[in-house]
Structure formats: C-alpha cells, structure tokens
Structure 1
Amino acid sequence: MDADYIRTYWGKEKREADINFDGVVDAKDMQFIKQHYLNQNPDVQKAPKAKEIYKGKRLEDILTELNIQ
C-alpha cells in the first residue's frame, strides 16, 4: 500500500515517496494517496486490484497514526 510506504518515510527526504517533489515526505504527499485511494491505473493492462487492507492496516489507520484527518 502506498500509504504505508509514505508512513515509513514520513518527514524524511525520500525521493521515491515524495510524490510532489518538494523535498520531504509529508501530508501533501498523503493527500494524493487519499484522492486516489482504491483506484486502479486505467492505462495498465491487468493492473493489480487495489487493497483495502495492507499488513493489517487500512488507510484510515495510517492517517490516524500520522494525525491526519
């Protein structure tokens, strides 16, 4: 889950998790994940189905951990 990856690098300079290229992984990057939650890439054939639970956590759980609404 992308949200878990962002949580892992929260507050760090991790280019692969910094969706908006501003130099830090933060709420702006997580906002992108929230906007596209459970969507599949329409340009990819046989795109994997989006998962609501990853490693026992939902997006809402990760947002709560990071104190994001």
Structure 2
Amino acid sequence: MVHTETVQAKIEVPVPCIDSVPAAPGFLPDSELLAPPNGSAVDRVWRDHLQRKQWEGQLEALLVACVGAKK
C-alpha cells in the first residue's frame, strides 16, 4: 500500500534589497585639492574628502553585498 500526503513547507528565499549600486559622484583629483594658494582651506577640504571617500567605500561595500544577494 502506498500512502501519499501533500505537505506545505515555508522556505525563506533571499531577495535583493536594491536593484543596482548608484554611481559614485565625481571628485576633484588629489592634485587639485592640494594645489596652492589656499593651503589651510585645502587642508579642510582634503580632510573632508578623505572622510567622505572612506564612508562611501563602506557604503558601496554594503550595497554591492546587497545587490550580490540576488545573483
């Protein structure tokens, strides 16, 4: 005798949280940020530039991982 039974199971399936990674905005090249004549102003801009680049690197890594989950 064969016994057949239908069983429903809920299985979690990963879905992407975003469709793509937004393009990074353009930055001034390092040489322009460090060029004279306004050294102190450039130092502040340079510090902000480095901090923003670090933050964007972390953000991009998170976004790439999120997009990669769908592949």
Same fold (TM over 0.5): no
Structure scoring higher RCO (CA < 8 A, sep ≥ 6) equals: 2
Q: TM-score range by the shorter chain?
A: under 0.3
Higher helix share: 2
Larger Rg: 2
Using the size of structure 1 for normalisation, the TM-score is: 0.26
